[in-house]
Amino acid sequence: MRIPNLMSRDISRRGFLKAGAAGAAFAATNAWSPARASDPQVLNYLSWPGNADPYLIADFEKDNNVKVQIKEYVGGDQMLAVINQSPPGSFDVVLADAEYMHLLHEADFIEELDPDDYPIKDFWPEFQKFPLHWFEDKLYGVMTDFGYLGLSYNTKEFTAADVKSYAAMWSEKAKGKVGFFDWYLPSIGSISLADGNRPPFDLSEESFDKVKERLFSLKPQASGFYTIADIFSSLTNGRAQLIPGIGEWITLGLRQSGVPVDTIIPEEGGLQWTESLSIVKGTPKNDLARKFIQYTTSPEGQVKMATKVDNKKSIPSVRGWELLNKTMPGEAEILRMQLDKPNVMDEYKAGKIAFRQLPSQQSIEDWNDVWSEFKTL
C-alpha cells in the first residue's frame, strides 16, 4: 500500500503532550515492545500520544488484569505506515481520526464490528450512524470523542462580533496577524467554508480554483505557519491574533491559563474532528480489544476522555454527559456539555458543522501542492 503524505510528523494535534516529566514517566511505563505483543495479558494500542495516561486506562487494566502497551504515532501517515510495516498481531486496537478510516478499511487493516457490541445507542442520535465509520452498511470504528474547528482569536484585539465571519481574516486590522496551522486539511477546509462551499472538501475543479485564489489572497495577512507548539506560543505572545482551522482544544487550556483567546464557529460554519477506535485485523485478542472499546465508550470511560487535564474533549455519549453533569458539574459547564443549557451540540444541530474529510474530487497531493505554493508566495 502506498502511504500518502497526509500530515507532516511534527504537527500533531497532541504531539506536544509527549513533553514533561509526568508524560515521559507513563509513556516509558506503557511503551510498546514487540517482545510483549503476543502476551495474552497485554493489549497493544496504536494511538496518538497521551492515551496511555493512567487516568484513562488504570481502571481497565485493573478490571481485566491486563497491561495496556501503547505505540504512539504522530500524524495519519505515520499511523498507516506503522500498521503497514508491522506483522499481523502487533496491534489489537487503533485510535484514528475519522477521515483516515476509509484508508484503513480499503487497506484491510481493521475488522468489521458488530454495532450491538458497543453502547452506540447511548450516543446522541446524530452520531449513532456516523458516516465516516460505516462502509456498505458495515461498522468499522466507534467514536470516542470529537471537537470543532473554527476561527480562534485574541479577545483583546477582536470581539466576537468582529470574527462572526471568516471575512475578518481579510480585514485591514488583521494584516500580518493571521496565523496558520501548518496542515493543509483544516486550513484549506476553513477557506473553503469561507468561500461558501458545503461540504468543504468535495469541490469541482472550478470551485477548487476559486478556493486556491481566495487562499492566496490571504498571504499579505499571514504572520506565519505554525506547528502545534508554535500555535500555543504565537497565541500567547500575540504574534498570531487570528488562526483558522483550530479549536477549543487549544484555546480552552490557554484561556484557563490567563491568555486572552477564544474560538468561534463563524456564520459560514466550522469543521468537526473525530477520533474513533477500531480493532486491528489479525489480532488474536479480539475479545480484549472489544472490551477496551466498550470501556472507553462507557459513561465512566467517556467522562475520563472528556476531562483529561491536558486535552479536554467533547464526547458522543449522552449517558457520559449525564454522568459528567452529576459528578463533575464544573467540568460540564467549562466543556459546554450541560444538558439543560446551550451546549456543543447546538452548532451541530444548527447545521453549522461539516466533517473534516480528505479531498473527494482532487488528490491529497493536489491539496498539498496548493498549500506548499501558498507558503512560498
In the CATH hierarchy, which fold is given to the domain comprising 15-146+273-340? Answer: D-Maltodextrin-Binding Protein; domain 2 (3.40.190)
Predicted pLDDT at 37: 73
Instruction: Check residue 261 and report its DSSP letter.
Output: E
Same fold? 15-146+273-340, 147-271+355-376: yes
Predicted pLDDT at 32: 65
Give the pLDDT band (50/70/90) at residue 26.
Answer: very low
Residue 28 pLDDT > 90: no
Mean pLDDT, residues 303-308: 95
**Tens of pLDDT, residues 62-99:** 999 999 999 998 778 889 999 999 998 999 999 999 99
Q: Which three cell numbers stand for residue 101?
A: 478510516
Residue 330 pLDDT > 70: yes
* Rg of the chain taking only CA atoms, in angstroms: 20
Long-range contacts of 131-136 (CB under 8 A, 24+ apart): 131/355, 132/98, 132/99, 132/101, 132/102, 132/274, 132/355, 132/357, 133/98, 133/101, 133/276, 135/102, 135/105
Predicted pLDDT at 302: 98
Q: Which residues share a beta bridge with 69?
A: 44
In the CATH hierarchy, which fold is given to the domain comprising 147-271+355-376? Answer: D-Maltodextrin-Binding Protein; domain 2 (3.40.190)
Q: Which three cell numbers stand for residue 114?
A: 458488530
* In the chain, where the domains are located: 15-146+273-340, 147-271+355-376
Greater confidence (323 vs 2) lies with 323
How many CA atoms, within 13 angstroms, populate the side-chain half-sphere of residue 361? 11
Average pLDDT along the chain: 90
Predicted pLDDT at 16: 36
The string of DSSP letters for 111-165 reads: --B-GGGTTGGGB-GGGTT-GGGEETTEE--EEEEEEEEEEEEETTT--TTTTSS
**Tens of pLDDT, residues 173-195:** 999 999 999 999 999 999 999 99
Instruction: Check residue 87 and report its DSSP letter.
Output: P
